Amino acid sequence: MHGITIFIVALLFLLFGYPVAFTFAGIGIAFVVLFADANQLAQIPYRIYANMGDNGEGLVLMAVPLFIFMGIILQRTKLAEQLLESMGQLFGAVRGGLAISTVLVGALLAASTGVVGASVVAMGLISLPVMMRYGYKTELATGTIAASGTLGQIIPPSIVLIILADVLSVPVGDLFKAALIPGLVLIGCYILYILVYCRIKPDAAPVIDNAQSSQSRRQIIATALLAVIPPLALILIVLGSIFNAVATPTESSALGCVGAILLAILYGKFSLRMLWESAHETVKITAMVFAVLLGASIFSMGFSYTGGEHQVEQLLLSIPGEKWGFLIAVMLLITLLGFFLDYIEISYIVLPLVYAVVLELGINQVWFAILVAMNLQTSFLTPPFGFALFYLKGVAPNNVQTAQIYRGAIPFILIQLLILATMLVFPHWYGMSAEQPSLW
């Protein structure tokens, strides 16, 4: 039972707040020394080399720091401010228009930056005061911002999808393609919910009279297009190069970095200091991600050598309902862990444990990865440790209570879970298949 015990001990240490990377590595080494053969620790360098080396499997991870750098550069160009201002003018006359603008800007930021914290903070600083000033209900405003800021988890190019591609050994380009329809459906459902909610409760989102503005409708549209087209063009170039097999994800991420710098120059925000600060921030975030990866590799080794893989595989295969029972159990487990753990921790703890069962049951790995990505997105919104909720609370006015932010996020969590359920039951609606494609 040492294999199950190591998992429980790691989870307890994480819940008590110990650093993720060192917890994984330390517990993995301790269990190998105590319950296996200490000489097996000599395999650690080979495992690290297999994950990060030039064997082809580790190359996909090179895209992580490049996409992070691209996102930070775009975030420092004040892209969110320009987009929110333009979209707000464009949709202001619609009831709930500011909330709809926030969703659309969140989608654009997700596709261009992919940094959840930056998106939530930017929209919290810019959009929340405006919505509050125009009399929007606090729960609607905060829920919309928190949910829109997490779209970067499912809309490509997403760091989560890159990590899932590495863990589940599937091409990143395939995940990017498969995530497009669920991402667009999610955006559409957010907007539909806002429209219906505002129809039922008109006082929750008053109409903004654009007649007070000196700009004509045509000028507003021109301004909005001017703000939207450059980042949208960059997104299309980066994703288009991947989808059309013109460039690998790593090459396209490098192209995205160059495009982000050019946009910074275009917006007049470029400076060597900004470039240095962006690179410094990229190194910090990348170091955190890769430290967790290396710690998880050592933990996985300890888990394997103490018999955990075999125990978990037998346990999962014994769940009633075979494939569907397994999928429901894994989705419920990820949802529950999302209340307490980050997406990186869940990706590197849970997925290696279930990977062998996914293959044995003939489950389509791309479909499974998108299910996990949609599920992981809810971890940013679920109390008590939803990071998007913390980011928003940190920049929200003092009169916005934590309970209001939590209540505002609940409808959007339910929307995400509803879409997850439809993806599970009707994968063909999203252009995916539940079965592993035949090799013949």
Q: Is residue 116 part of a domain?
A: yes
Cα(73)–Cα(277) distance, integer angstroms:
9
Q: Is residue 439 part of a domain?
A: no
Q: Is the dihedral of CA 122, 63, 156, 82 positive or negative?
A: positive
**Residues spanned by the domain of 396:** 2-430
**Rounded-to-integer distance, Cα 234 and Cα 259, Å:** 6
| pLDDT tens-digit map of 220-279 | 666 667 777 888 888 888 888 888 878 888 888 888 899 889 988 988 888 999 999 989
Q: Report the number of distinct structural domains present in the chain.
A: 1
* Residue-wise burial string across 360-381, b where 16 or more C-beta atoms lie within 10 A, e elsewhere: ebebbbbbbbbbbbbbbbbbbb
Q: What is the tens place of the pLDDT at every residue in 104-156? A: 888 887 777 666 666 787 778 778 888 888 888 999 999 999 998 888 888 88
The per-residue pLDDT for range 175-231, each reduced to its tens digit, is 989 999 999 999 999 999 999 999 899 888 887 765 444 456 666 666 667 777 888
Asked whether residue 161 is assigned to any structural domain, the reply reads yes
Residue 437 in domain: no
Q: Is residue 408 part of a domain?
A: yes
- Report yes or no on whether pTM surpasses 0.75: yes
Question: What's the CA angle centered on 193, arms 190 and 194, to 5 degrees?
Answer: 90
> Is 351 within the bounds of a domain?
yes
Residue-level pLDDT at 134:
81
Look at residue 400 and tell me if it is in a domain.
yes
- 124 in Cβ contact with 392 (< 8 Å): yes
- 162 part of a folded domain: yes
